[in-house]
Structure 1
Amino acid sequence: MKASSIAFGGILTAISLILLYLTRLIPTNTLTLLALLSFIPPIALMEKGVKTAILVYVCSSIGSLLFAPPNISFLYILFFGIYGIIKGFIERMNKPFIEMILKLVFFNIAFLITFFLIKAILGIDLQAIFAKLLSRLASLGLNSTSSSILIYLLLQPAFLIFDYALTLLVGYYDDYIKRYIRQGFNK
């Protein structure tokens, strides 16, 4: 691995760790910060390749265990950190319908693993949290299982919106920001 790839990966890892630490300081913007974090590995993938992207993900994942709350670490490690890399590989197929199916499959597997690990390891009952969330939104008369199913179904279009937003961010980076970063590293 070239020194420039390691340096670039180190900078991206440092940015990731700062954003992960901010999830501890600013708990109300956690999803926004996680969405921004999912944008960092694709930059490494586009600029320096797969090895650098994986290095950034692994180092940031280890750092998340030190700097972020445990539930945020799980979300980062199991979904937000790796998704940008997975997305990059899936989108190389250039078959939009198959890409969407594969992305949804990945999201659902990651969601289910995260759901069960958070309950098993951290003892956080997400079903109860979902039930409270829905009861605050409207009194629909749902029990915790049906509220979990409803939220799970609502997460599918939310994920597709997130995926589209990530696509827009990567496109913006590719069109407007990349040239400035390359100029800075080529001096």
Structure 2
Amino acid sequence: MNNNKRVKGLASGGILLAFTVICVFLASILPTSVLSLYAVSSLFISVIIIEFGTRAGWTFYLASGILSAVLVPRLEVIPFIVFFGIYGLIKFYIEKVRSRVLEYVLKYIYFNLCLVLGLFFLKELILGGINLSVPVYIVAALSEVVFVLYDYVYTSFIRFYGTSLKPRLKL
């Protein structure tokens, strides 16, 4: 890799890292749009993976997780570290499977594992202090519907980036 491309990659990664941490920070302080901000924060890693590969993606995930934990030293950083921050990498590896059914099964297993851990350990954070009269299995079912929408939007963003943004940005 020549020096010019390396500098461009570092600068691009730094800017995307800043956007990621800003989204996580805003998710920790704003009373609404928390899941939307986490979802947006998770998109930046896909740009890194597309432009610089999975090795850079892992480095970006570690850097964004550590920096978020340092700058947002509250429990609100845990959903990013456990699910949203790494989802781009998980999605990349799962989508290498050539079976669409197995792909969705693996994604659901990962999501449900994170959901169960979240509901057991971070119930207050996930539900925002709301005392629900709705059974947990209904919350889980609704969460799965939201996850399908999130995965669809994530895939749409990747396509949009590849067809429209990447040629214009020339990272």
Percent of residue pairs bearing the same amino acid type: 29
Give TM-score, length-normalised by structure 1. 0.78
- Distance change (3 Å), C-alpha of 1:26 and 1:84: same
Which residue identity does 1:11 align to in structure 2?
Answer: I
1:24-49 per-position Cα deviation (integer Å, ceiling 9, x unaligned): 44331111111101111111101100
Alignment partner, residue 29 of structure 1: 33
Quote how far apart the aligned CAs of 1:181 are.
1.7
2-side partners of 1:104 and 1:91: how far apart? 13
Greater helix share, structure number: 1
2:108 to 81, 104, 114: 104
Write out per-residue CA displacement over residues 27-78 of structure 1, whole angstroms, 9 at most, x where no aligned residue: 3111111110111111110110012111111111112223336232110000
Q: Deviation of residue 13 (structure 1)? A: 0.7
CA distance in 2, matches of 1:111, 1:70: 19
* Equivalence map 1:1-187=2 (5 Å): 2-68=6-72, 70-118=74-122, 124=124, 129=129, 132-133=131-132, 135=133, 147-182=135-170, 185=171
Q: Which amino acid aligns with 1:87?
A: K
Pair 128,71 (structure 1): closer, same or farther in 2 beyond 3 Å = closer
Residues 95-153 of structure 1, C-alpha deviations (whole Å, 9 max, x = no match): 2111111100110112222333436xxxx4868956x24x4xxxxxx5xxxx1122112
RMSD across aligned positions (CA): 2.4
Confirm or deny: 8 A CA contact 1:41 1:57 kept in the other structure: yes
Gap change, CA 1:128 and 1:39, over 3 Å in 2 = closer
Aligned equivalents of 1:114, 1:64: Cα separation in 2 = 19
For structure 2, which runs of at least 5 residues remain unmatched after alignment? Answer: none
Aligned residue-pair number: 167
- Cα deviation, 1:127-182, whole Å, max 9, x if unaligned, reads 8956x24x4xxxxxx5xxxx112211221121111111111111111111011221
Tell me the SS of whatever aligns to 1:77: helix
Inter-CA distance 166–127: structure 2 relative to 1 (3 Å threshold): closer
- Is there any run of 5+ residues in structure 1 with no aligned partner, and where? 136-141
